[in-house]
């Protein structure tokens, strides 16, 4: 398993559109993706689960990826968040 602390810096926080982008990207990988924020843990492949974390602008969360393609997945997801969701998920 690999993990990294990530700062959410886009204006709106984790709203439906960024959450949708994140989930679509996460679903391209086999690895399990989880976000840990405070005492809550969310499934990174579920929009519902992501939204219930209530991540706002400047929230810092721990991104954990576990599986065969974990390092590529982590790198891509971190890039998406750090680019403030400007990077369209590569198809």
Partner 1 sequence: MSAQVLQGISVSPGFALAPAVCWHPVAVEIRAEKNTDASKEWSYFQSCLPRVQQQLQDLIKKTAQELSDEEAQIFESQYLFTEDPEILSDLETEIRQNSWKSIWAVEIVFEKYAQMMAAMSDSYLRERALDLRDLKSRLQVALSLGPQALQQDAQALNEKCILIAQDLTPSDFASMDKKKVQGLVLEANQRTSHTVILAKTYGIPTLVGVVQVFEKIKNKDLLALNATRGTLYLNPSDQTKNEIQSLMERDQVEKKELQKYKDQPILNREKEIVHLEANITSVHDLPLAAAQGAEGVGLFRTEFLFLERATAPSEDEQFEIYKKVLQFNPQWPVIIRTLDIGGDKQIPYLNLAKEENPFLGVRGLRLCLRHLDLFKTQLRALLRASSHGKLKIMFPMVTNIEEIQQAQSLIKSLKQELKVTSDFQVGMMVETPASALMIPEFSALVDFVSVGTNDLTQYILAVDRMNSDLADLYQFMNPAVLKTMEKIIQDAKSHDLSVGVCGEMASDPVGAKWLMDHGVRELSMNPNSLLRIRRLLIEE
By beta-carbon proximity to partner 1, the closer residue of 53 and 74 is 53
Tell which residue, 20, 24, 18, 1, has the closest CA to residue 59.
Answer: 18
Residues 14-73 that bind partner 1 (CB under 8 A): 15-17, 19-20, 23, 43, 45-49, 51-52, 54, 56
Residue 9 is a binding residue for partner 1 (CB under 8 A): no
CB of 70 to partner 1, least distance (A): 18
Tell me whether residue 13 is exposed, middle or buried, using C-beta atoms within 10 angstroms of its C-beta: 0 to 12, 13 to 18, 19 or more: middle
Residue 48 CB partners (closer than 8 Å, separation 6+): none
Map tokens 């690999």 to a residue: 2
Question: Catalytic residue among 2, 13, 15, 59, which?
Answer: 15
* Secondary structure element (H or E) that encloses residue 60, with its range: strand 60-66
At closest approach, how far in Å is the CB of 79 from partner 1? 21
Residues lying near partner 1 in the complex (CB under 8 A):
12-13, 15-17, 19-20, 23, 43, 45-49, 51-52, 54, 56
User: What residues are annotated to the active site?
Assistant: 15
């Amino acid at each position: 398993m690999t993990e990294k602390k990530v700062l959410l810096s886009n204006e709106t926080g984790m709203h439906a559109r960024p959450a949708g982008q994140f989930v679509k990207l996460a679903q391209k990988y086999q690895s399990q993706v989880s976000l840990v924020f405070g005492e809550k843990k969310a499934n990174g492949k579920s929009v519902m689960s992501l939204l219930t974390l209530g991540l706002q602008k400047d929230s810092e969360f721990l991104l954990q990826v576990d599986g065969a393609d974990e390092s590529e997945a982590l790198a891509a997801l971190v890039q998406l968040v750090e680019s403030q969701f400007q990077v369209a998920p590569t198809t």
